[in-house]
Chains A and B, each alone.
Chain A
Amino acid sequence: MTKENVKKALDRMEQGTYRNTNEIVLGGVPFSARDVLVKAPIISRLNAYYVGGTGEGKTQLANDLCGYFSDSSCYAMGRADFEPSEIMKSMNWDLLRKLQAGEKVPEGELEKLSENVNKCFFYVDELNRCPPIVQNYFFDFFDGKLVHQGKIRNLGKEGYSVGFASGNLGDGEYVGTSQSDRALKDRMHLILGIDHPLFSTTSFDDLMIFSGSKKDPRASLPQTQEGMTSEIIQANKEFQARPLNPILPFLGVYLTKGLDYLEGPKAHSKKAIKDSWYHSNIEGVREDSDEGIIFPMSKRAVLSAQALASAFQFIAEAKGQKVANPAELFLDGLKLIVPYSGILHPTYVEQKHSGDVYSAFDEAMAFSREEILKKQGKLEEAVLLAETGDKNPKLLKSISGSEGRWACVKDAISQYADYRKANPSEEGKALKEIIKEAHDMD
């Protein structure tokens, strides 16, 4: 049950200058735009990258977010010569003065960490104004750590820090922008095209924005509201303490190993032939299979998807809404992770979907989605049995044969059953009692 103070924190995050009343339905549950764009990533401590055209509200969102974290926020502007250590390190002036006065000082300590390392919220506006080489410096930064004098230090406090960024992704219409590579996108966890109809403002929002008292097109600065960093940290702690839906890790196996499966090549793996996979479809997109259009997700992306689905469930429950099918919520949540992640074949996105990554994602995932939902009942039953240390060969066979993209899921369930047989859990024993009379263990 979500605590009262967590509910209050979530309610406070509805406030701000950025206006967007679009309702986004995920897993059959209606969420507000702020639930999706702000609360879910903040609560689950997932980095978010807002992308889209200029003047669509990215900077306004950033200002609202900085307001939530108040003194614990750190804002930076992407530039060609910017790198994160610029805001994390500063000159130790006392030592410098001593050095200038001729005193002997340890030279390595002339540079010290700045107060910013203890901040919890980092925002890099116009991230892709940094050239790719500079964007590489952000890997650690968005991983929530910093290397200083050979030692790794966590950013933030009480284990909480999160990084947000914005960028104008486009095909040449923005001068001075660069592409971001897949490693950085993967670390951004969520990439949200906020001007896409899926997430963008409603017509009435636009009317309210245009007809309001504001006559200045510039984004409003953070409101002088009291920050809520400690409430956010508390909400994150409560979120972290919640158990994970047991089906999601098995869907994760499908999205990493199952989506990697290829019928033809000897190793049956897209990763094994990744260079030719990315160079395939040059002459056109094959339409008879999804094998050439979607690459497996990374483990980091699956972990992000699990956290995101859990965050949505957390938010829904705080509002008194019930999530009927967590697997469906998980699959819908992938829409915030996969489309810009680089795992959709670029030729497919361009040729078949005119560059609309969300449309490409829907079609590319349609087959897997249908399969997952079709197999869900069997999958749940097999995972339940595995938790009790048992496995039913007939049931496993109904999930997958000896080969194919589902074989990895079947193997994972089977091995988990073996693990649980050797290491029984108290909960597993209780579950066994419930199904003992009911299940035919043939």
Chain B
Amino acid sequence: MTNPNFQSLDMDYLKGIAERVAKEKKAEREAQKNRKETKPEPIVQEQAEPESKPIFINGTINPDEYIQISSTDEVIAINQSHGNLRYEEAHKALLSEGLKIPTPNIFMKHFRNVVDAYTNKSNLITASGKPLGKKQTGELYEKLTHDCWAWLNAKFVKGNGYLNLNLNLETVVGMDSKGKILTTTLPLETCSNQDAYVNLDFNNQGLAKTVYSNQNYEQGKNIRFWYPRENAVARFGADSDRASLSCDRSPDDRDSGLGVFASAQQGASVSQKNGGKKQ
């Protein structure tokens, strides 16, 4: 690739930016150094370990890499895995390992748990029964509010649910011996029918109920919601701009960055392949 046009860019302008960046970084380093010299590092006290117990998962996933989801019998991976697969391919890959793609209901419960833990309202407990440390909780919060992209187990098909949208919710429940995925379909419950920032208040299917008062992203306080469209599937994503629950995505999309936060059920039989490991 050659493009002589690049030669005509104003390098003095970039030089000004370089000097500004260098100055900022230097000031930042000095401030950091001063902080270290003048202030002892605060001792971060882990909250008292809550009463927690490991849950039994019949398999070999690493229980330290999964989080329990309170009021459910499911655990969910801390890290995203199984990238570069289409919706159906992702389901098959996970099911063959005894794992599954979380439904919006499970995932949004987990999301709220993470937000609550980050704001010190509760703790996250791993599948091995250990509380997740503050630092890891903070990292997980950042991931879910700024840096993830994952399929959710929900397809919206023509039906007779929530009248405004006239759709049903199809979820994958398993796979038969021939590799065909098995689904169950329920009428769509009432949910927001607006593409908007919404409160972290979800119906029993994990879909947003109410529009947020302010239509700007506020990390940990709202998410962007894209209401269900016929034959679309659900995804959860977060980037530098916002976190969003999108119920209008094509099941045929595929991208190396698009994966799954694998979930597993207590007592499920799970194989070791890739479970909970970042690819």
Contacts and interface: CB of A to CB of B under 8 A. Distances in A.
B252 A263 contact: no
B238 interface: yes
Interface stretch (B21-29, B49-57, B132-140, B181-189): B21-29
B241 A384 contact: no
Interface in A417-442: 419, 423, 425, 427, 430-431, 434-435, 437-440
A288 B211 CA distance: 11
A263 B21 contact: no
A263 B25 contact: no
A62 B166 CA distance: 60
Nearest to B248: A264
A387 B14 contact: yes
Contacts, number: 115
A404 B15 contact: no
Nearest to A265: B250
A435 B18 contact: yes
B13 A246 contact: yes
A381 B215 contact: no
B64 interface: no
Q: Is the interface of B mostly helix, strand, loop or mixed?
A: mixed
B173 interface: no
Interface stretch (A36-44, A314-322, A394-402): A394-402
Interface residues of B, number: 45
Interface in B1-48: 1-3, 6-15, 17-19, 21-26
A236 to B, nearest CB: 15
Contacts of B17: 380-381, 383-384
Given A245-B13, A380-B17, A401-B149, A288 B195 contact: yes
A371 B241 CA distance: 9
Contacts of B2: 423
Contacts of B250: 266
Nearest to B235: A403
Please indicate which of the listed interface residues A249, A288, A387, A401 has the most CB atoms of chain B within 10 Å of its own CB: A401
B240 A263 contact: no
Interface string A284-317: 0010110000000000000000000000000000
B6 to A, nearest CB: 8
Contacts of B88: none
A244 B1 CA distance: 20
Interface string A147-162: 0000000000000000
Contacts of A288: 194-196, 215
Contact of B240 (A387, A401, A435, A439): A401
Q: Is the interface of A mostly helix, strand, loop or mixed?
A: loop
Contacts of A197: none
A264 B147 CA distance: 20
Contact of B10 (A243, A381, A384, A423): A243
A404 B195 contact: no
Nearest to B240: A398
A435 B22 contact: yes
Contacts of A427: 11, 14-15
B246 interface: yes
Nearest to A291: B195
A397 B240 contact: yes
A403 B195 contact: no
A167 interface: no
B237 A243 contact: no
B73 to A, nearest CB: 32
Contacts of B255: 402-403
A401 B13 contact: no
Contact of B248 (A246, A263, A384, A423): A263
Contacts of B6: 419, 425
Contacts of B246: 263
Please indicate which of the listed interface residues A402, A404, A425 has the most CB atoms of chain B within 10 Å of its own CB: A402
Contacts of A440: 25
B66 interface: no
Given A397-B147, A401-B147, A402-B255, A381 B21 contact: yes
B214 to A, nearest CB: 12
Given A400-B240, A402-B257, A243 B8 contact: yes
Interface of A: 242-247, 249, 263-264, 266, 286, 288-289, 326, 371, 380-381, 383-384, 387, 397-404, 406, 419, 423, 425, 427, 430-431, 434-435, 437-440
13 contacts: A242-B10, A243-B11, A246-B9, A246-B14, A264-B249, A286-B195, A288-B196, A289-B195, A381-B17, A403-B239, A434-B19, A434-B22, A439-B25
Given A427-B14, A438-B23, 15 more contacts: A246-B11, A246-B13, A263-B226, A266-B252, A266-B253, A288-B215, A371-B241, A381-B17, A397-B147, A398-B240, A399-B240, A402-B255, A425-B7, A431-B18, A434-B19
The 3 closest A-B pairs by CB, nearest first: A401-B239, A402-B257, A438-B25
